[in-house]
Chains A and B, each alone.
Chain A
Amino acid sequence: MTRSEIRPFHAARWSEPVIMEMGSPGRRGTVPPTSWASADAAGLVPAGLHRTEAPGLPEMSEPDVLRHYLHLSQQTMGMVGISLFGTCTMKYNPRISERIIARPYVADVHPAQDPSTMQGVLQIVDEFSQALTSLSGMPAFTFQPGGGAAAAFTHAAVTRAYHASRGELGQRTEIITTAQSHPSSPATASAAGFDIITLPVEEDGYPSVEALRAAVSDRTAALMVNNPDDMGIYNPQIKEWVDIVHEAGGLCFYDHANFNGVMTRLRAAELGFDACMFMLHKTFGVTKGGGGPAVGAYGCSEALAPFLPGPRIEKVDDTYTLVESPSSLGRIREYLGNVPQVIAAYTWLKAMGGNGLREAADLSVLTNNYMEKRILEIPGITKAFPEMTKRRLEMTRFSLGDITAETGVTAVDIQNRMTDFGIDAYWLSHEPWIVPEPFTPEAGEAWSIEDIDYWIDVLAHVVDEARSDAELVKTSPHNQVVARPNGAGLDDPERWATTWRAYQRKNGNH
């Protein structure tokens, strides 16, 4: 098809100072209420604990603070451009949800209020839990985990509690995962005290049943896998996998990071899994926030439900109450979790409905296949495991390795150059890289075909540039807020600075 014309773009560029450099002595940005009490505050601080010097914070007026942060927001692309950041399922986040959760009946509810005063919150959390049950077959859910990684950790902790209850924790020391699992699966399992066995990907794009059999033993505590993986490849032997792990006495956890393409078609419980996890900030239309507040909704079987972190919501007659299970593992995080995000996910799900979910899944897979066809028409771009000829699901992993070999231009160079046209970064690949110079776009269901086409047009344009003017791409971005960091010093103890204070000291300005 003919490419559309590449439109000029330039990011906002305010040359904004760091706030620590701004302001003027004595200026005020906000004035707290004065105390109505006569007590002298200084006399109330225990001896020896008084702060002797005021904190070195900026002194600015309210409009100056507002404008500074407006400038910073304008210097952030977010989803204002086009972002097809793979594995993170960039969806539309309906603003009606934001309006609702900002109201006092959510924002100003205290988690320790009597449950009788929180019936609305508890009803929504409970009804949303039931909706996830219908999508997964898992009868019990907790929303305490503050993200997908926290849900993986929850699974590791539930695994601990389950085997401890059977007197087998000392023996069940290993958790099996695959090279294509999210890094949080092995990392959380390790933090929970387990040894990790990582199965390598084989020629079909996933580890073989034989490799799994060889790894499984009476030491197996659990299996943690995603399916499809981040390459859009589905392991068709997954039921057999679950049976093998169950026979050995292990639990099976389904990381549903890539649920978008299979929602309404696959149910974790019917595939035999004991537990699964949905990321509400991805699949269920909740904002990313640059990295949370997020929710890793963790669901599990009846057998594991008693171990879930508390409190659990129970409906007695028409009243919702909070109960603690005696065998609960306690807490993964304080309170019920990111309740506003659960309410936003509930709202999104109500708007979508069963039919909308099905269409979204269909569109995410259809659009990915549409993208893949067009991307592979760009000379030099290949896909991971091309010998697996079946159609990919909602994502495809591509490789720019041939282009790098030809031009010296890398996946990171191209990613940076695309931002010069209002296209935000694509995802490369989690560790370990399976193909050279990987990139992983994910179309999702929200972006229009015009945006998808334009994304591909820009990619093709930049690949052309790599061949005609490699230096232009290697030194990109050129139309962005700032140039690319030169990478120097970020891991050097003499030079890194996570605070202005450290930066001043290390640069002799203290």
Chain B
Amino acid sequence: MTPLTPHPYMGNSTEAIHERMLAAVGASSIEELFEQIPAEHYGTQGETLPDGILSEATLELHVDGILRANKNTRDNLSFLGAGSWQHHVPAVCDEIAGRSEFLTSVWGTPSSDHGRNQAWFEFSSQLGELLDLEFVGLPVYSWGSAGGNALRMAARLTGRNRVIVTKAIDPERRAVIESYCGTQGSSRALEIIDLDYDAETGHTDLDQLAAQLDDTIAAVYIDTPNHLGVFEAQAAEITARAHAVGAEMIVGTDPLSLGIVASPASYGADIVIGSTQPLGVPLNAGGGVGGFIATRDEERYAREFPTLQVSITETLVPGERAFGLTLFGQSSYGAREEGNDWTGNSVYLWAIRNTVYMALMGPAGFTEVGSTIISNAHETAKRISGIDGVTVRFDSGFFKEFVVDFTGTGLTVADINEKLLAEGIFGGKDLSGDFPELGQSALYCVTEVHTEDDIERLISSLGKAVTR
């Protein structure tokens, strides 16, 4: 059935072209072309979808009408973080990521994809500078995905199948890691051992770590800053202890902190992972996440990467550079089930955003944004802790997130957030379900985008909210 109006998305949507192609292939009807499919295979039960909306104006009205029901962090005041963080996205990031060439590319040749491959190499190169590491893969789906991949890399590297994972971790991230480790009793699963944190300091419980470490441990995994916002002050000590039993040290980090904070590589972390979302990617209702995996450029590590990665290389023309996939053969594309885990479509367009972001920021931008964030966040925490019955759990040594404890107000976080929402404020993420040891606490996120006026508004609204 040819529609009355040819569809604008289809170049051959005219009756004349249908007929022309049918004649060329010698078929009297379209149905003839489906001769491979037995008639009894055809579906009969589905609801038929309504006809298409051919007019773009009508289509936009329809979709827009639904999405207008959303509230967003730009028109409201948001303190939500916990895995997706509100940062400024420079306009140039939007312009470049929106270019049709990058937006629509798939797999050309190294020559026809040269520009994109170079941008990917620049993503890895700039991230490598921030991380002080020389081997960086193309991004994976998310920080959780990077964590799962890194733990599995460590298991292959050590031939061991027990991993120690911090409990001061985003439950979403932890759940992804569990799926990757296969904790449901299947064969070849990795056993995850929980590593406690000190509820007074937010730091790793070193005594418990000492008791857990032995020569069956493949890896120790911590985050700094961790999910509760705290920098892991003992990271170097933890790394030394992991290495002492032959375990790999995996550290997750926020790349936006690396202008002011030393990379985990500085104290010998072996596999450094984290989120790429802070580097120029909008929140996207959770669809902004991405992850990175980086190590020293040592063959031992490079051969375990599950990702695709581009290497700078030479062409047939002397002196000319190109970019090609390195170690492709160890990926699932190259080796199917014999490869390192698996790869496929990931978040490569976000790598374009990331590389543009890092180039715009430069060394000074990273130093400044880190300083602004840490100062804004600490000052906000100090002001919040001035509210009656409200305390900040770990009152220093955090980056952009901190734990606000409302237990003393006699109210729940849910109550308080409901009152804040009525004033156009998205309060911090409720931790009471996942971290009951913290009482009625919420994780507040303050970044470079928050102004002093924003914070005054928050303090005023919180003050009212905690007064019953």
Contacts and interface: CB of A to CB of B under 8 A. Distances in A.
A337 to B, nearest CB: 7
30 contacts: A33-B449, A37-B376, A41-B371, A44-B397, A49-B233, A57-B359, A74-B115, A96-B56, A108-B283, A110-B285, A137-B46, A288-B106, A289-B348, A331-B144, A332-B179, A333-B141, A334-B170, A335-B289, A347-B63, A353-B52, A369-B21, A369-B25, A391-B35, A431-B333, A449-B11, A477-B109, A484-B322, A489-B311, A497-B297, A500-B129
Interface stretch (B205-213, B338-346, B404-412): B338-346
A39 B71 contact: no
A111 B114 contact: no
Given A137-B45, A236-B36, A341-B287, A110 B86 contact: yes
Contact of B49 (A16, A113, A337, A353): A353
A114 B376 CA distance: 25
Contacts of B104: 78-80, 90, 93, 287-288
B179 A157 contact: yes
A103 interface: yes
Contacts of A239: 40-41
B463 interface: no
B312 interface: yes
Interface in A16-35: 16, 18-20, 23, 27-35
Contacts of A483: 111, 315-317, 320, 322
B421 interface: yes
Interface string B320-331: 111111111100
Contacts of B229: none
A387 to B, nearest CB: 14
Interface residues on A, range: 35 or more
B284 interface: yes
A98 B98 contact: yes
A266 B37 contact: yes
A346 interface: yes
B36 A39 contact: no
A494 to B, nearest CB: 9
B121 interface: yes
Contacts of A267: 43, 45-46
Given A109-B285, A110-B426, A290-B106, A335 B84 contact: yes
B124 A106 contact: no
A30 B24 contact: no
Nearest to A123: B66
B43 A36 contact: no
A186 interface: yes
A204 to B, nearest CB: 10
A293 B285 CA distance: 13
B50 A42 contact: no
A498 B136 contact: yes
Given A30-B365, A482-B111, A490 B11 contact: no
Contacts of A337: 286-287
B48 A354 contact: yes
B118 A32 contact: no
Interface residues of B, number: 220
Q: Which of A51, A189, A369 has the most CB of B within 10 A?
A: A51
A318 to B, nearest CB: 11
Interface string B160-185: 00000000001011011011101011
Q: Which of B105, B137, B315, B374 has the most CB of A within 10 A?
A: B105
Given A74-B115, A262-B37, A370 B346 contact: no
Nearest to A310: B175
A104 B21 CA distance: 44
Given A51-B259, A339-B286, 5 more contacts: A57-B358, A73-B116, A266-B43, A335-B83, A484-B109
Contacts of B189: 193
Contact of B179 (A270, A331, A391, A427): A331
Interface in B265-308: 282-287, 289, 297, 299, 302, 308
A415 B110 CA distance: 11
A346 B332 CA distance: 30
Interface string B347-391: 111101001101111111111111110111011100000000000
B344 A147 contact: yes
B18 interface: yes
Contacts of A281: 345
Contacts of A367: 12, 21
Interface stretch (B87-95, B214-222, B242-250): B87-95
